[in-house]
Chains A and B, each alone.
Chain A
């Protein structure tokens, strides 16, 4: 009974794999150090992240796995649901212990689960690429907040860098309290709460916005209403594609802006 703890990074998790092989001491659980409760049973091993050990494990995997399977492993790490560390470990162990490629062996539980997790995380990534709504601020920055089910921000950055190469943007994860800022040259990970800005909301309001922001948001709402065909109404299908938990971020699902009444005020 070995319980491993690590620092919560991907490299840390790969170091755990290295240590487990070195000691021939297979874990029954792996957890982030600060989350672990002292346990009366079993021996606890604290692993210090070591980039060299991690990269030895990773290059070993690269020799035996397709790019897609490597990606699936990383996605499983970003999944962050109960038992994800053991899933990653079990899969890696099966890869190293098996003389032939295990990809596609869906009869093995961890291969099947990894494939399912890969799909879940990929779907969430795709949803973020679809449902991010930027608001333009008065200094020309495009700002969006997200709160994804899984930690997909690191894997959506590339998509937004390619697409919005000529505008500055921020995508901020409200759950995990960090964001990505693209400054026309490169993307940095940022932490807005530490810099002392007031509590962030899903939607920016008022005077920080560009003067045309409300106009385009309203036009988008108008478009959304008029592209609908009422004769074909199908709320079940609508919600399956666009689950309610995402609505708070979607401009088209927010209270209607009426420009005329605003002008009167």
Chain B
């Protein structure tokens, strides 16, 4: 009995792990009923995998039986892997017992599609309902919306789940046709739009009635696979920028394609494109927290992100006319655009300069990292270097100068590119 559950867990955790989202933040569920758990505010990473990713949720598939044959997916019909399925009760027991021991923040439940979309979705909803109603569980629940599931089921899912997500996976219709022939964009975007409408409606209702039912209070997210198809970074960032604007997504996740499949429709790569994925995340952050638009980061002329340097530094080197920025007088928005200065440092600077004229020493004490920033700022009209360097020199100094630490991963992956290219 025990070893059976353990075997299922092996198979169904293995199959779910390529879904990179593990966020458990943004929930609003309080433990008002003296039940189990809460999911207010910040999420907690209870552990970290050996690849350094946060483990916050019990992330599993209900089953990895699937009627679809998407080339990039381990669970695809034609793949020769062990199949398994949890019962509703098994998922409930695992979630509750893991949660009570403080292993997890909650459940992330997805599934292969068996029989049809509604049949699968109905089971996911039933698990969430059981957790909420029978177990008085107030922890975090993230449900995957099965493409093609009916509006009613999505609506019900939102009553019990904190977050809903529909994965787009492939960044263009063309790739989708090629790699996931049974899926289409309409089928994916329709539920996404549906969830958005429900979210808007629930928000309006809660303004009118305090007791209005909540709908997925942590919003919706999606995932794009990077490196399984030919899209460049410009196309990917344009798409996510649109998703943030048009569908009010909380997050777009990017999953560097792990070569798990020998399907002939896919490119042959030796390892997941970890550096590229990291640069795309940095660009995503620039769009969400730093006031950058997608077209400032990459455009048709330079459609791909520079792998060697971060996108903010790359932007600054292309736009030297904006610099140097005087730390004591510049607007917050401009200080945010200085390479190496993050949101926290920028806020600290703006706060501290009300009391005193700031010097480089002040910045250092505050913990502002000057390695990159020093080429782009002045303090009381003074600069840390005597010459004006051109962009190429700055780039070289930051990459190879004193104190430049390059992760072994970066060197390794870039060398790999050189060998191939």
Query: What B residues does A134 contact at CB under 8 A?
Result: 100-102
Scoring B residues 336 to 370 as 1 if CB is less than 8 Å from chain A, else 0, what string do you get? 00000000000010011011101000100111000
* Residues on the B chain within 8 Å of A259, using CB: 2-3, 6
Contact of A232 among B46, B51, B100, B352 (CB under 8 A): B51
Q: With an 8 A cutoff between CB atoms, is A40 at the interface? A: no
Flag the segment in B35-43, B157-165, B235-243, B316-324 that touches A: B35-43
**A126 contacts the other chain (Cβ, under 8 Å)?**
yes
Interface residue? A82 (CB, 8 A):
no
Across-interface contacts of B358 in A (CB, < 8 A): 107
Mask: chain B, 1-27; 1 = CB below 8 Å from A; 0 = not: 011011001100110111000000000
Binds A, one of B52-60, B123-131, B171-179, B371-379: B52-60
Q: Which residue in B50, B53, B356 is a CB contact (below 8 Å) of A105?
A: B356
Contacts of B30 in A (CB 8 A): 162
Q: Is B303 an interface residue (CB 8 A)?
A: no
Contact B274 A232, beta carbon cutoff 8 Å:
yes
Is A48 part of the contact surface with B, judged by Cβ < 8 Å? Answer: no
- Closest CB-CB distance, B30 to chain A, in whole Å? 8
Determine whether A208 belongs to the interface, using a CB cutoff of 8 Å to chain B: no
Select from chain A the residue with minimum beta-carbon distance to B101. Answer: A134
- B103 CB–A CB distance under 8 Å: yes
**Which residues of chain A have C-beta atoms less than 8 A from B101's C-beta?**
133-136, 142, 216-217, 220, 251
By a CB distance below 8 angstroms, the chain A residues around B387 are none
Chain A residue with minimal CB distance to B43? A130
Q: Quick check: is B251 within 8 A (CB to CB) of the other chain?
A: no
User: Is A241 within 8 A of B35, CB to CB?
Assistant: no
Whether A166 contacts B352 by the Cβ 8 Å rule is no
Q: Cβ of A238 and Cβ of B48 under 8 Å apart?
A: yes
Interface presence of A71 (CB below 8 A): no
B315 interfacial by beta-carbon distance below 8 Å:
no
Check A164–B100 contact: CB distance below 8 A: yes
What does DSSP make chain A's interface, helix, strand, loop or mixed? helix
Contacts of B46 in A (CB 8 A): 130-131
Within the complex, the shortest CB–CB distance from A151 to chain B, in Å, comes to 20
CB distance from A110 to the nearest CB of B (A): 12
Q: Closest CB-CB distance, A162 to chain B, in whole Å?
A: 5
Q: How far is the CA of A44 from the CA of B95 in the complex (A)?
A: 58
Decide if A235 is an interface residue (CB 8 Å cutoff): yes
A233/B38 contact (C-beta < 8 A), A212-B97, A226-B10 known: no
Instruction: Check if B348 sits within 8 Å of A136, measured CB to CB.
Output: no
Partner of A242, one of B2, B47, B356: B47
Given A126-B44, A222-B10, A229-B258, CB of A133 within 8 Å of CB of B49 = no
List residues of A (134-183) whose CB comes within 8 Å of B's CBs: 134-136, 142, 144, 162-167
Interface contact A232-B14, CB-CB below 8 Å? no
Q: Which chain A residues in 234-250 approach chain B with CB under 8 Å?
A: 234-238, 240-242, 250
A223 close to B (CB within 8 Å): yes
A218 at the interface (CB under 8 A from B): yes
Task: Annotate B187-214 by CB proximity to A: 1 below 8 A, 0 otherwise.
Answer: 0000000000000000000000000000
Residue of B nearest to A171 (CB): B102
User: In the docked arrangement, what's the CA distance between A217 and B97, Å?
Assistant: 10
- Taking a contact as CB atoms under 8 Å apart, the answer to whether B47 and A229 are in contact is no
Q: Are B31 and A222 in contact (CB under 8 A)?
A: no
Q: Given A104-B351, A107-B352, A229-B51, does the pair A132, B34 have CB atoms closer than 8 Å? A: no
From residue B354, how far is it (CB to closest CB) to chain A in Å? 7
A163 touches B45 (CB 8 A): no
Does A231 make an interface contact (CB < 8 A)? yes
A56: Cβ under 8 A from any B Cβ: no
| Residue of A whose beta carbon sits closest to that of B408 | A236
CB distance from B334 to the nearest CB of A (A): 20
Contact B102 A223 (CB under 8 A): no
A228 near B44 with CB under 8 A, answer no
Contact mask for chain A residues 67-105; partner B; CB cutoff 8 A; 1 contact, 0 none? 000000000000000000000000000000000001011
B 91-120 to A, binary, CB cutoff 8 A, 1 in contact else 0: 000100110111100000000000000000
Asked whether, in the complex, the Cβ of A165 is within 8 Å of the Cβ of B352, the reply is no
Nearest-neighbour CB distance to chain A for B225, whole angstroms, equals 14
Answer yes or no: B136 CB below 8 A from chain A CBs.
yes
CA–CA, A231 and B53, complex, Å: 13
Cross-chain contact of A241 among B17, B48, B362 (Cβ < 8 A): B48
Contacts of A164 in B (CB 8 A): 36-37, 100
Contacts A131-B47, A136-B101 given; 19 further ones with Cβ under 8 A?
Answer: A104-B352, A107-B352, A116-B367, A130-B47, A131-B46, A133-B101, A142-B101, A163-B38, A165-B35, A166-B34, A218-B2, A223-B13, A227-B13, A229-B53, A232-B53, A232-B256, A234-B51, A238-B52, A240-B52
| In the complex, the 6 A-B pairs of residues with the closest C-beta atoms, listed nearest first | A237-B52, A104-B351, A232-B51, A105-B355, A226-B13, A106-B352
Q: What residues of chain A have their CB less than 8 Å away from a CB belonging to chain B?
A: 102, 104-108, 112, 116, 126, 129-136, 142, 144, 162-167, 212, 215-220, 222-224, 226-238, 240-242, 250-252, 259-260
Provide 9 A-B residue pairs closer than 8 Å at the C-beta atoms, listed in order of the A residue. Answer: A104-B351, A132-B102, A163-B36, A165-B31, A216-B101, A219-B5, A231-B272, A233-B51, A237-B48
